[in-house]
Structure 1
Amino acid sequence: MRPFKTTYLSALTAFLVYGVSGQTAGDYGQCGGIGWTGATTCPANWTCSEINDYYSQCFPGTATTSTTTATTPTTVPSSTVGTGSTSASSTSTATTTASSGSATLAPGYSFVRAVEDPYFHQYLQSEVLNTPTTAVLGNYTNAAQFQVVNGQLIQNAAGTNLYATVDPPANSSVTMLGMTWSTTPDTLGTFVFSGDSLEWSSPTVPRPQTNAWLVCPSGTTLFIYINLGYYDYETPTGCSDETLNAYTGPTAVP
């Protein structure tokens, strides 16, 4: 008969190794990624889809990806950046290309860029330009343009509104939230420019520092996340802490 102590330690080790990974993530919850120690199994009829090396998420059914290219310009409301709310009073459906290679900033809009190393002056945009895809940072020549209207961060995607939507946390152990661009407004939280700093908060998601962001590269793509912790504290392996700031120069610059 095996000694009780040996049997107990073996059972404890098995629980520590398999217990967490055997749990089931919630709907749209994180289910994997470098450094992830939470649940790795999705609910029945849901699939764990890899977003990048650092983040996988549960989606209903079989995960598929698609892109939609905006072809019909629509009216985009103008606002005063920094207030977080305004009413539509003018339209802007197109921009011109400046000699720098970036688009000329439309009235009432701003570029949004990182201001800390190692991604200093990388600009917020869609992974596939002007489409409802994952939020990333990229080169200044592709910098998108934004305004905050009634708590929504809106990208002017070649004349079409794309809204920044934040993935809801699956549980209290989640430390960062993915962000994508969508044709429908976000319902989880509120964006605001505080001065020129882009912040996000939600009544249902505790967050001690509302201007804390993370950049987690996968290959050459710089994925942007909302950091649910403090800036520069317990940074996930492979990621960097960042703050995002509005820039209202006539064109995006390096």
Structure 2
Amino acid sequence: MTLTESVYLSALAAFLVSGVAAQTAPQYGQCGGMGWTGATICPANWSCIVTNEWYSQCLPGSATTTTVATTTVATSTVGTGSTTASSTSTASGGSATLDPGYSFVRSVEAPTFHQYLESQVLGTASPAVVGDYTNAAQYQVVNGQLIQNAGGTSLYAVVQPPANSTVKKLGVSWSRTPDTLGSFVFSGDSLEWSSPTVPRQQTNAWLVCPSGSAQLLPDINLGAYDYMTPAGCSDTTLNAYTGATAVP
């Protein structure tokens, strides 16, 4: 190979590499990480956010940091099973990065499509609400308990007992002690609740209802799904989502 040919091939290789790097990654697409050779530029008003050394992702908003913070873990035991609640790491411009073994939980029906399950006062024992993806909490189901990872502390979903036989929806709140009324389970990716003392027509039927604080409350629906919906409420199901971060 002549010197001229060698120079030409080197220049061509550099051009091809720069061309790949100059391409724009899609929204929520990969944009970096160890060994990544694809596009590294995000669309306008999106930023390439580091999830870990192997993966960076295009997320909405301007970047304020490109680091991922990790902290200690706390272990809680429920019955004969156990769950490890690790404090979540934050990827700027979106939600916390999903920890291994956990899921986000979100509504999948209009008008609350992709509103995420969380605490009314974030990370605390307070009423359950559905809200913006940037505040999405993370969950496991262990021995029938729906457990929220609240920054390394386990919070349990507690269902309000029915006051009488005419009640058609039950409120849900977060507590530091386990629920004793019924059991949660993920059936596929659908979050279901049942109780031997509370009859239900459909175990995965949920309602989202307004509250006095202008937040939306997820309630257990004791009636038929999408039939005789209480005034102001909407029918939905709550489903697990295991993407790296919560998305709109």
TM class, shorter-chain normalised?
0.5 to 0.7
The alignment's C-alpha RMSD in Å is 2.0
Match of 1:227 among 185, 209, 221: 221
Task: Name the SS for the 2:134 alignment partner.
Answer: helix
Match of 2:232 among 206, 213, 238: 238
Residue 73 (structure 1) shift: 6.2
Cα offsets for 1:174-202 (capped at 9, x unmatched): 10001100000000000000000000000
CA contact (8 A) 1:164 1:185 kept: yes
Q: Does 1:103 align with 2:87?
A: no
Residue pairs, 1:13-52, within 5 angstroms: none
Q: Does 1:138 align with 2:123?
A: no
- Residue 178 and residue 231 in structure 1: after superposition, are their counterparts in 2 closer, same or farther (change >3 A)? same
Residue 207 (structure 1) shift: 0.2
Q: Does 1:185 align with 2:178?
A: yes
Separation in 2 of the partners of 1:98 and 1:86? 34
Larger relative contact order (C-alpha < 8 A, sep ≥ 6)?
1
Q: Percent identity?
A: 72
Residue 75 (structure 1) shift: 1.9
Task: Report the TM-score, using the length of structure 1 for normalisation.
Answer: 0.66
Residue 98 (structure 1) shift: 1.3
Q: Which runs of 5+ in 1 are unaligned?
A: 1-71, 78-84
Task: Name the SS for the 2:97 alignment partner.
Answer: coil
- Residue 221 and residue 140 in structure 1: after superposition, are their counterparts in 2 closer, same or farther (change >3 A)? same
Q: Which runs of 5+ in 2 are unaligned?
A: 1-71
Residue 230 (structure 1) shift: 1.1
CA contact (8 A) 2:141 2:185 kept: yes
The aligned length equals 176
Residue 76 (structure 1) shift: 4.9
Residue 97 (structure 1) shift: 1.0
Separation in 1 of the partners of 2:102 and 2:73? 17
In our comparison, the structure showing a higher alpha carbon Rg is 2
Separation in 2 of the partners of 1:190 and 1:151? 4
Separation in 1 of the partners of 2:103 and 2:221? 22
CA contact (8 A) 1:105 1:251 kept: yes
Residue 93 (structure 1) shift: 2.1
Q: In structure 1, what is the equivalent of residue 74 of structure 2? A: 74
Amino acid at match of 1:233: Y
Q: In structure 2, what is the equivalent of residue 149 of structure 1? A: 142
Separation in 2 of the partners of 1:73 and 1:169? 36
CA contact (8 A) 2:89 2:97 kept: yes
Separation in 2 of the partners of 1:115 and 1:93? 27
Task: Report the TM-score, using the length of structure 2 for normalisation.
Answer: 0.67
Q: In structure 1, what is the equivalent of residue 166 of structure 2? A: 173
